[in-house]
Amino acid sequence: MFMIKFIDLFSGIGGFRVAFESVGATCIFSAEIDKYACETYQKNFGDNPLCDVSKLKANELPNFDILCAGFPCQPFSLAGKRKGFDDTRGTLFFDIEKVISEKQPKVFILENVKGLVNHDKGRTLKVILTTLKSKLNYNVFYKVLNSKDYGVPQNRERIYIIGFKEHNIKFEFPEKIEKKIDLSAIRENNLNECNISEIAKFNIEKHLKLHKKYEDIKSNPLLLAYEVRKSRCAFRFDNLSPTLTAKMGTGGNNVPIFVNEMRKFTTKECLRIQGFPESYKITPNTAQSYKQIGNSVSVPVVTLLAQEIIKHL
């Protein structure tokens, strides 16, 4: 079997790389502009991907079979201002287009937030698909997948866009996995770290008492609080994590909290929720680490997609 080579654009901390290397592909080039994410990437893969994708000279890239790109989602995200292509980050899609056009890979896989589907009444996605199908002449498939349906204890909806140079390929997205995994599988026990402030505790208690079954709810060891504010506090009762986001790096109240322990998720728990291997290294419990994990892909989902992609190569 020939060596399947891929490049990892907007690589973050390497979620795509972990997934594709696990199915036997080889990464030959990575690019990431965030210096802190690059430090984490280097700890785990031994090379520093520091590079501005918008300044890449596509003709100087080595030849590869698969292009992976979780291109910046903020322009299309409900958590951002949703400026789309009016935001300079949104135009980075067209930098991906230049690389695909120049290098003509056998396959590409792109990942973004679900908000891309309806952004600007669907026109943004239409521009992307038209570019990939009509201009670049790829056989394109796309679908919104939720990580919770694929063995990940997290409610995380993302769109995956996959294109093949070969037009006879009939790609199928993976079926949902019946086996459900909840937060008990990722939780670290007996921790005395990641404690929250007294103000946050007060606000959680205040909002909890609004529920009729307050005592029963509080006794649930997997009950989560998040988006904790004086006027607002959200809870999850389904043993799943809410979507981990880059906002976790902006303050303690944006990191999900185990209510019965009154502590934030640790970065180890967040890595497990995203499906990274136990051996993965990251600086523990810092704002930058939380941000990096929130920006990443769910590794098990991408692994399933990678397995299906590899079948066609």
pLDDT recorded at residue 88: 42
**Nearest residue to 227 via CA among 199, 248, 206:** 248
Report the distance separating Cα 122 and Cα 116, nearest Å: 8
pLDDT recorded at residue 34: 95
pLDDT recorded at residue 301: 98
pLDDT tens track of the chain, all 313 residues? 579 999 999 999 999 999 999 999 999 999 999 999 999 999 999 999 999 998 999 999 999 999 999 987 554 444 445 454 555 445 688 899 999 999 999 999 999 999 889 887 888 899 899 999 999 999 999 999 999 999 999 999 999 999 999 999 999 999 999 888 899 999 998 787 788 999 999 999 999 888 877 777 777 889 999 989 888 899 998 899 999 999 897 766 689 999 989 999 999 999 999 999 999 999 999 999 999 999 999 999 999 999 999 999 9
Regarding pTM above 0.85, the answer is yes
Could you confirm whether 73 is annotated as catalytic?
Answer: yes
pLDDT recorded at residue 84: 47
Domains of the chain, earliest start first? 5-178+298-311 (3.40.50.150), 183-293 (3.90.120)
pLDDT recorded at residue 118: 87
Exposure class string for 228-265: b at 16+ Cβ within 10 A, else e: beeeebebbeebbbebbbbbbbeebbbbbbbbebbbbb
pLDDT recorded at residue 66: 98
**Nearest residue to 136 via CA among 84, 86, 99, 88:** 99
pLDDT recorded at residue 82: 46
Active-site residue, from 73, 194, 233, 270:
73
Which residue has 């920006």 as its token pair? 295
Beta bridge partners of residue 236, listed in sequence order: 224
pLDDT recorded at residue 192: 74
